[in-house]
Each structure stands twice: as structure tokens, then as C-alpha cells.
Amino acid sequence: MKYDFIGIKKQGIYGINNPNLVVQFTTDIVDFDLKVIGDGKEITYECQSLNGNNDFLLQAKVDKNIKEVEVLFKNNDEYVKVVTLKNMIHSRIKNKVTDVFKRIFSKIKLVFYVLGKGIRFMWREYHFLVPISLWGKYFNDFRARLKSANPNIYNPFYKNEYNKWLEEQKCETIYEELEYKPLISLLIPVYNINRKFLSECLDSILEQSYSNFEVCLVDDCSTLEETKKTLEEYKKKDKRIKVRYRKTNGHISKTTNDALKMANGEFIGLIDDDDLLDKDALYEVVKVINEDKKIDMIYTDEDKLDPHGNYCNPHFKPDFSPDTLLSLNYICHFTVIRKKIVEDVGGFEVGLEGSQDHDLFLKVTEKTNNIYHIPKILYHWRMVEGSTSMSIDNKSYATDKGKIAIENALKRRKIKGHVEKDKVSTYYRVVYEYDKEPLVSIIIPTRDYADILKTCVDSIYEKTTYKNFEIIIANNDSKEKETLDFFKEYKKKYKNFKVVDCIMEFNYSRINNIAVSKAKGEYIVLLNNDTEVITPKWLSIMVGYAMQEHIGVVGPKLLYPDYTVQHGGVILGLGGVASHAYIGADRNDLGMYGRLRVPYNYSADTAACLMISKKKYLEVNGLEEDLKVAYNDIDFNIKILEKGYYNVFLPQVELIHYESKSRGLDTTSEKYKRFLVESKYMYDKWGNTLLNDKFYNPNFSKKAWFMLDKKK
């Protein structure tokens, strides 16, 4: 029988000696209820979401002596029988064998799918003559592909898959009539570039669908004759192209400043002499300016063009992220800025060649908040030998100059701190400094499980280098003698160890809010009792970030006991309301563009461990007490964003998280019903925000972090 309120995708009883009922279904009803009946008696079941939306998996252990099992679904206050199954040994054996063969076939299919892609790659790149030094790399890559392969998504860093995605995205542009058509001056410093690359660059500009631009080319005393000839040729071809020749070589900052002096436009755009613009790049920029004439700076997504003419290594960027910008120049190309602001900040800094754009962006973003990100690939950065696009090693001085640019930004902003170069990547970490340690209140909710709590508390006292903290145990009605004895012992042992009784039904939000009201600290840490400190300077580092005026929530990298990643920042709308990034990744994984190595702005951090100033915590009225268990931390993070603060993930700070050991996971029917209600609460309150995470590019999939969806 078919029903319009539920769709059964899979049903069966599996297992020979220990039968297990499995029902996979889909429903649009949010606050649903189920019953599982075996020979007239109700059976306990577990129900969980498969994707955070409307696909669910119901499981229940069934006694092998039960003859018939029924599943009832509540619809319009009436329970309707939706599944009826006979519990017979021969059908269970058949189901078990079928399920095993399906899994084996699926695994074989996946292996051949990944192997086929690998064979094509080896033939195209090496004709199977792979250097021995690369065997290990490609074997590890093969294993990684097996783990992450999904036939419904593309990996943007696999060249073939990215180019297939680009093909699927192609569509005809529908041009709107633009009321305001500002002149845009494109600044291009030129030095010894061959004709092919320079002409392709200029052709991509002349072919723009938006025509009100000028090209300001400054040659930095090139010795290559074809460079000069190409400049003269294009100067004659189009009156919008202006060329100036320097008499001495001054390097990129002086050369670009000369181009800035030539510019007559209200806005300037930055282009390298061998790169390509998408034909609608300027149109898309001006379209945004028409929608908001106060915008001062616009940047777009970009990718690279390899020596064979293939697009690769896309950079799908977040919206403006000030702390990410202090870790790396994530803005890069294509960037258009109001000319007056560029002039006001002094143009391009001589002496910071290689990081002159990063320095400029830091200065400009100190002058304006009117910054807009266009999430479209509109710039193609050519990979040529000797270029930074091939390898940062080609211009290692650039990383040194980048460090100076960030340190200069700290000085201008009158912020005490210094900059570290990450030893593994090419990125940076700001280390904020302060003269006096403010008091930090570490709040740990618990209900019994003294052994788990002891591991957590001992790791704080034994490993933490920061001295000025207090631990507040939010005691949620602990009963066990072992726990109560632990409280007494540690209150005697440590003067900064306190217990606040919260005798009530479990409500994570209310428990923490009560504890915060008792806290004396200027900064609050919400910490799960099933965590363990790894990084001795964890509080020192987190306080440095939390005390910055623009920063709200600060969160660390959390690891499973096997040292794989449990929390690498939270992405809104991923798999439902929200999900952690990089779950299961290796502890030493770089993450995409250093996301697991250097600080990044995310929309949220998990409350398993987060820090925030008490003032900002109270400014948003703390945790939402209507959310007793799930998503109260996500709601809290979003409230902080709504106040104009930025949340930051700090991968250099690490803790182990044993994950919900003392409370259990939301798998029982009652807990899951509550979970669904709290999910609905979040969608009703924050629906648009959940769908449009500002720090997660909209081109990325909501099924898997930092992947691309295939077109269906």
C-alpha cells in the first residue's frame, strides 16, 4: 500500500542469530512518531537521519522467536500500519546473503571506478612511465580516493572532475541593462612576457561583455623585444589601451603604482600580464556595483590554467573573512577596488614585492567594510615555469614579505602581537600578545562519570601553561558516590575548582547559562566533560583571539582518540542544519588552502570547546534554552554573527574529544523526536542563514565538505 505521507525505500529483517529490523523511509513530516510492534508488543527502536533532511533509517533488535513485526507511523493523530514483515529464518538468511553481495559488488564497482580514473590519468600525464619517486604519492592518493569517492560529487582538485563540473555549469548569460556604467581602469605591470601569453591576456580583456574600461600597461624596462612589440601592436589596436615604458627596472610595486597614476577610472582592477579574464568578469562586477553603489571592493573566485590549457586548482572563496586574510591572501584575483581608497592608503608598498597585493588588501579593508564577494570563477591564473602559480618556492621571498605585511597591519591597528610562518604550508598565524592574563572561567557540565571528568580536569591542571583560570563544574544532578567524592577532593585540592549545582532535567543551554551567571571570568570557555587538553598554550592562544574586538566565538581543532579530526570548523546547512568540516581527516592534513593549519573564519565552532568574552556571551543572552540538547551552539554562533562579530577556528589548538560518552548519542526514539523538533526550530528561525553560509562558498556541495555537486 502507498501513502502520501511516507515513502518506504527499504525494509527487511536481517541477521541469523540476532535479527535486526531495518526500514529506510522518507517523509516531509518533521514532528513524526513511530511504533514498532512484535507479536502485539511494542519494541524499542532507534531512528536516525541519513542526510539531515527527510531520509531516515529505523532499526530495532527483534527476538528470533517473534513471528511478525509491524511498523506504525502516526499521521493525523492516528497510527497507520506502513510495514508488515514475517520474521522467518529462511527470509533472514536470504536478506543477509543479498546484503553481503550488494556491499561486495558496491565495493568492487567503487574500486574499478577509482582505478579507471587513475589509469586514464597515468596514461595522459606519464604514458605509464611514472617516476619511482612518485609511486608512494599516487598509491596514497589512490587510497584517499577510495575513501572519499562518491559518484554524486566531483572533487574540485581532480582536474578532470573539475573540468566536467565547469562544462555542466555553462549557460548563456542574460545581460541586464546597467543604469550606472563606471569606468574601470585595469592595471597591468609588464615584464619580459612572451607574445602568446600577453596577447591572450589582452584579448580576454578586449572581448569583455562590458565595454567601459581602460587598460593601463606599464612595462618595467623589459629586455625581451617581443614584449615591447606586442604592447605597441595592442596600443594601436584599441584606444582604450594605454602604454607607458619605465626607464629603469623598479619591480612590481613601483610599476603598478605608475599604472595607478595613469588610471582615470573610478575603480581599478588588478590583472597579471599572463592571466585571463572571463568574458563577463567586468559585467558581473559592475552589476554588483549597480545593486549597491556604496561598495568599495569586489573580489571573485578564480582558478588556474595549466601549461596544457586545462583549468585546475579552483579557489572557491568565502565572503569577507578578516582573520583568514591575516593567515593568507585568500582574496587574490580578480579584485576591483575604488581608486580613491587605493590612493588614500598610498597604493602599492615598495619593498613588499611579492606580497604587495596582500598588503594593499589589508590596508583597504581597514578603511572600508563595503566589501563584496562574487562566487563565480571569473579569473584564470596561468601556471608558467617560474611563476608563483606553479609553486610558492619559485618566489620564496614572497612568504617573508607576506609576514612583514601582516606585522605592519598589526602595528597600524595598534594590536600587540607577532606573526609566525607555518612550517608546513606557506601561510601564517598571528600570535596575539597581552600584558596581563585575564581570568578565564572554564565551564564543564557533567552528570556522574567521574572517571571521564577526571581525565578532562586533570589535563587542564597538568598541561595548561595559562595560570589565571577557574574551573566551574555545572553539576547536573550527579548521584554516584564516586562523582560526589571527586567534587569534595578537588575542591580541597584546588582553590580555583568550584561546583555549581544544576538540579534539573538535562538542558544543556540552561545549565551553561546558570554556570556563566556564577562565573567571575572576563572570558568564558564552554567545555565538554569528555575532552582532554593536548596543547599546553591552548588558553593563552584562545584568549589572544577572543580579546580582539571584532572576534566573537573562538574554537580549537578537536580530535578523536585515534587522532583523526572530529571538529575542523562548522559549516551551516551541510547535511542538514550544520556539520563539522574534515571529520575523519588526518591530524596533520593541511586542509584546503591551509584550513587545518592556520586560523580561518567559519560561521560556527562547536560548544564541545569554545571561548568567548563574557560580555559578548551576555550580549546575545547566552544559549537558547528552548534548544535543550541539539544545535544550541549553532544558534549561539549565529546570534554572535548577527551582532557583527566574526567567529574563528584555530587549528593550532588541539584537544581530544571522546564525544558524548557521558550523555549518549541521540538515537533513542524519544531523543530523536526531540532532535527533530530542535531541527525544525533552527530552520524556522535561521532558514536563510543555514542555506547561505557566508564562509562556505555556494558552489560547494551540502552533501560533502568542499566538494562539487554533479548536475543531475
Cell 580561518 maps to which residue? Answer: 600
pLDDT at 673: 72
Instruction: List, for residues 174-185, the tens digit of each pLDDT value.
Output: 999 999 999 999
Helices (H), 368-480: 397-412, 450-463
**Boundaries of CATH 2.60.40.10 in the chain?**
7-87
195-220 burial, b at 16+ Cβ within 10 Å, e below that, comes to eebbbebbebbeebebeebbbbbbbb
- What cell numbers appear for 315 in the block? 579557489
Q: Are 183 and 256 in contact (CB under 8 A)?
A: no
Residue 320 to residue 318: CA distance in whole angstroms: 6
pLDDT at 124: 57
Cell 570548523 maps to which residue? Answer: 569
To which CATH superfamily is domain 440-709 assigned? Spore Coat Polysaccharide Biosynthesis Protein SpsA; Chain A (3.90.550.10)
pLDDT at 529: 96
Q: Are 284 and 210 in contact (CB under 8 A)?
A: no
DSSP, residue by residue, 333-398: SSEEEEHHHHHHTTSSPTT-TTSHHHHHHHHHHHH---EEEEEEEEEEEE--TTSTTT-GGGGTHH
Q: List residues bridging with 23 in a β-sheet.
A: 11, 58
CB atoms within 10 A of CB 384: 16
Residue 282 to residue 166: CA distance in whole angstroms: 20
Long-range contacts for 487-494 (Cβ within 8 Å, ≥24 apart)?
Answer: 490/457, 494/461
- What cell numbers appear for 118 in the block? 587513475
Provide the 3-class DSSP secondary structure of residue 116: helix
Instruction: Check pLDDT > 60 for residue 424.
Output: yes
pLDDT at 334: 96
**Boundaries of CATH 3.90.550.10 in the chain?**
184-430, 440-709
Instruction: Check pLDDT > 70 for residue 139.
Output: no
- What cell numbers appear for 241 in the block? 589601451
Cβ neighbors of 92 (< 8 A, separation 6 or more) are 13, 14, 15, 16, 19
Cis peptide before 32 (omega within 30 of 0): no
Mean pLDDT of 209-217: 98
DSSP, residue by residue, 202-246: HHHHHT-S---EEEEEEE-----HHHHHHHHHHHHH-TTEEEEE-
Instruction: Check pLDDT > 60 for residue 149.
Output: no
Provide the 3-class DSSP secondary structure of residue 105: helix
Which of 75-84, 314-323, 602-611, 696-705 is the least confident region? 75-84
Q: How many CA atoms lie within 13 A of 17 on its CB side?
A: 0
Q: List residues bridging with 601 in a β-sheet.
A: 648
Q: List residues bridging with 371 in a β-sheet.
A: 297
Instruction: Check pLDDT > 60 for residue 567.
Output: yes
pLDDT at 394: 46
Cβ neighbors of 343 (< 8 A, separation 6 or more) are 260
Instruction: List, for residues 379-400, the tens digit of each pLDDT value.
Output: 999 987 655 544 444 446 678 8
DSSP, residue by residue, 243-274: EEE-SS--HHHHHHHHHHHH--SSEEEE--TT
Per DSSP, the chain holds a count of helices (H) and strands (E) of 18, 33
Which of 149-163, 188-202, 306-320 is the least confident region? 149-163
Q: Quote the distance between the C-alpha of residue 644 and its chain's center.
A: 19
Instruction: List, for residues 484-510, the tens digit of each pLDDT value.
Output: 999 999 999 999 999 999 999 999 999
pLDDT at 662: 42
DSSP state of 592: G
pLDDT band at 77 (very low <50, low <70, confident <90, very high): confident
> Distances in Å between the alpha carbon of 540 and those of 123, 379, 536?
52, 40, 9
pLDDT at 348: 97
Mean pLDDT of 54-67: 84
Report the predicted TM-score, pTM, of the whole model to 2 decimal places.
0.82
pLDDT at 125: 56
Residue 361 to residue 367: CA distance in whole angstroms: 10
Mean pLDDT of 91-115: 73
Residue 238 to residue 235: CA distance in whole angstroms: 6
Residue 573 to residue 693: CA distance in whole angstroms: 7
Q: Are 29 and 3 in contact (CB under 8 A)?
A: no
| Helix, strand, coil tally for the chain in percent (to 5) | 35, 25, 40
Q: What pairing do the DSSP bridges indicate for beta strands 267-270 and 184-190?
A: parallel
Sign of CA dihedral 504, 507, 508, 513: negative
pLDDT at 455: 96
Mean pLDDT of 69-80: 85
Q: What pairing do the DSSP bridges indicate for beta strands 297-305 and 311-315?
A: antiparallel
Task: Report which secondary-structure segment, H or E, holds 290.
Answer: helix 281-291
644 compared with 668, residue with greater pLDDT: 644
- What cell numbers appear for 558 in the block? 578537536
Task: Report which secondary-structure segment, H or E, holds 300.
Answer: strand 297-305
Nearest CA-CA partner of 240 in 198, 208, 273, 200 = 208
DSSP, residue by residue, 505-559: S--HHHHHHHHHHH---SEEEEE-TTEEE--TTHHHHHHHHHTSTTEEEEEEEEE
Winning range, highest mean pLDDT, from 42-51, 143-152, 634-643: 634-643
Percentage, residues of the chain above pLDDT 70: 89
Mean pLDDT of 585-603: 95
Mean pLDDT of 572-583: 93
Residue 117 to residue 200: CA distance in whole angstroms: 32
Residue 348 to residue 544: CA distance in whole angstroms: 30
Mean pLDDT of 90-110: 74
pLDDT at 645: 98
Categorise residue 479: left if φ over 0, alpha if ψ from -120 to 50, beta otherwise.
alpha
- What cell numbers appear for 451 in the block? 572517571
Cβ neighbors of 219 (< 8 A, separation 6 or more) are 190, 191, 227, 228, 231, 243, 244, 245, 246
Q: What is the largest CA-CA distance in the chain?
A: 95
Cβ neighbors of 435 (< 8 A, separation 6 or more) are none
Across all residues in the chain, what is the average pLDDT? 90
- The CATH number of 7-87, from 3.40.50.720, 3.40.50.300, 2.30.110.10, 2.60.40.10, is 2.60.40.10
Mean pLDDT of 519-529: 98
Cell 597604493 maps to which residue? Answer: 347
pLDDT at 51: 53
Percentage, residues of the chain above pLDDT 90: 69
Q: How many CA atoms lie within 13 A of 9 on its CB side?
A: 10
Cβ neighbors of 9 (< 8 A, separation 6 or more) are 24, 25, 26, 55
126 compared with 343, residue with greater pLDDT: 343
CB atoms within 10 A of CB 463: 14
Mean pLDDT of 606-619: 98
In which order are the strands placed within the sheet that holds 34-38?
A: 41-43, 34-38, 68-75, 78-86
CATH topology of domain 184-430: Spore Coat Polysaccharide Biosynthesis Protein SpsA; Chain A (3.90.550)
Instruction: Check pLDDT > 50 for residue 667.
Output: no
Instruction: List, for residues 445-487, the tens digit of each pLDDT value.
Output: 999 999 999 999 999 999 999 999 999 999 999 999 999 999 9
